[in-house]
Amino acid sequence: MEAESITSLPVTTNATLLQGDVPESWDKDALILLKDRAEVAHYWPYFRTALQESHPPNHSVSEGYLTSNMFLAMKGDIQCWLAVDKDRKVCGTAMTQIRQRPYSNELFMQIISLFGEYKTDDEKKLKIPRIIFKEGFAKFLEYAKGNGCSSVEAFSASDNVLSICQMLNCSVMQSYVRWEL
């Protein structure tokens, strides 16, 4: 994709973003994998917010980081997922990427971002229902396995995300350590 075409993507207005409606054909209480560039472009403001609010502890957020992730998502190198509640409102997002370990052929799916809180027009917060976490994680596993991955992995410094991972029987194996220079 050319750089100028990225800047000319349609931008969702705040009103539309806050309402969060999704098409009638989409499942309710589900995690939906966006399939094409138009869907990614339309819902990009959600993913941008998620990257700003829930970036991995090993990254700082810059305009370059956000643009790079948008470019990769538009190319299909990053998968964009929407959590949709029973009222067909967007209540969360996830971004994943199929990666290969250095020096081996082993593939794994890395969760780049998990985010689950958006405000509606009347300032209520929509949070991801547990059923979406449980079924959504099953979708992650199925998607990863279907793409030849041996695991699904993530970095997180969020106690909330870590408790959800433990609820889903994930092993939490390490902490990330960083020295600022």
> pLDDT of 123-167, one tens digit each?
555 566 667 777 788 888 899 999 999 998 887 666 766 777 777
Query: Which tens digits make up the pLDDT trace of 82-129?
Result: 888 777 778 888 899 999 998 898 999 988 887 776 555 555 555 666
What is the pLDDT, as a whole number, of residue 97?
94
- Among the listed residues 57, 47, 51, the one whose alpha carbon sits nearest the alpha carbon of residue 83: 47
pTM: 0.76
82 contacts 23 by C-beta, under 8 angstroms: no
- Rounded to whole angstroms, the Cα distance separating 118 from 128 reads 10
- Rounded to whole angstroms, the Cα distance separating 95 from 84 reads 15
What burial class does residue 123 get, using C-beta atoms within 10 Å of its C-beta: 0-12 exposed, 13-18 middle, 19+ buried?
exposed
Ordered domains of the chain (ranges, CATH): 3-167 (3.40.630.30)
3-state DSSP assignment of residue 100: strand
